Structure 1
């Protein structure tokens, strides 16, 4: 890929030249790249799934840009990476689900009021974390929203039920980001 600082030769070129080269302006420079070729044959099931995911992500990003309420566009604009625009930032957020990095059960002894603490991260923002506690036999004992800390990644859940059979119990945390993607982690006690 060639770069030009808008010289006398390349000027402010934009578009395709002879189905071989593509000129576009990026970050104040003219960028020259090989023109993409049309794919032959049907996509594999994995490719079709990826294409559909990008189509939906693209619609999400366009919705953010076109929304008269500019708050989300401004929020994405505030965390742009170098050479990124609001559209690509929103698209990236849609494609990247949150991740629960850990669930700390050290202070959970099966009593009401015990705390379960964890870390949930996202490339933009985690909006909620839901915690479910299951007994050793798989029965749901309780569920509820964890409290997110001011940094938006640490969460704390306060148990409301007694869990007498702690061994074999499971704690499930579900983090949700702005587009509604979910990241899940389950730990066994």
Structure 2
């Protein structure tokens, strides 16, 4: 890709030249790139799935920009990287689900009021964490929302039911981000 500071030769050119080159204006410079080629044939199932996901991400990003409530667009604007705009930041957030990094059960002994700590990250923001506790036989003992700690990474869930048998207990932590993507981690005791 070539760059120009809008010299006498390139001026303020934009558009396609002979289906070979594309001229664009980016941050006060003219950028020259190879023209994209149209794909031949039908996409395979993996490509079709990726195209569908990108289409949904694009609709999400456009909705953020067009929304009359500009609070989300402003929030995305505060975390832009160089040469990124709100549209591409929202698109990236939609395509990147959160990750639950750890579930700390050190303070969970099966009693009411015991604490389970969950650490989750996202490229933008984790908005909630749902914790589910399953008995060894697979029945759901309890579920509920964890509370975010001041550090912004950790969440704490307080148990509300007695769990007499810890062996074989499974704990699911489900993190949700702004676009509604989910990341899940399961630990067994």
1:34 lines up with 2:34 in the alignment: yes
Query: Where do 4+ consecutive residues of structure 1 move more than 3 Å?
Result: none
State whether residues 127 and 152 of structure 1, in contact with CA within 8 Å, keep that contact through their aligned partners in structure 2: no
Partners in 1 of 2:133 and 2:28 — Cα distance?
53
2:84 corresponds in structure 1 to 84
Partners in 2 of 1:160 and 1:172 — Cα distance?
15
1:125 lines up with 2:115 in the alignment: no
Partners in 2 of 1:140 and 1:27 — Cα distance?
55
TM-score (norm 1): 0.98
Per-residue deviation, 1:138 = 0.5
TM-score (norm 2): 0.98
Per-residue deviation, 1:27 = 2.2
Partners in 2 of 1:51 and 1:93 — Cα distance?
16
RMSD over aligned Cα, in angstroms?
0.8
Name stretches of at least 5 consecutive residues in structure 2 with no aligned partner: none
1:48 corresponds in structure 2 to 48
Q: Secondary structure at the match of 1:58?
A: helix
Partners in 1 of 2:147 and 2:167 — Cα distance?
25
Tell me the matched-pair count: 189
1:157 corresponds in structure 2 to 157
Q: How does 1:49-128 map to 2 (within 5 A)?
A: 49-128=49-128
Name stretches of at least 5 consecutive residues in structure 1 with no aligned partner: none
Provide, for residues 81-139 of structure 1, a one-character-per-residue CA deviation record: whole Å limited to 9, x for no partner: 11100000000000000000000001111111110001110000000000000000110
State whether residues 98 and 182 of structure 1, in contact with CA within 8 Å, keep that contact through their aligned partners in structure 2: yes
Q: Secondary structure at the match of 2:50?
A: helix
Per-residue deviation, 1:7 = 1.1
Provide, for residues 149-176 of structure 1, a one-character-per-residue CA deviation record: whole Å limited to 9, x for no partner: 2343210000011111101100000000
State whether residues 132 and 144 of structure 1, in contact with CA within 8 Å, keep that contact through their aligned partners in structure 2: yes
Per-residue deviation, 1:11 = 1.3
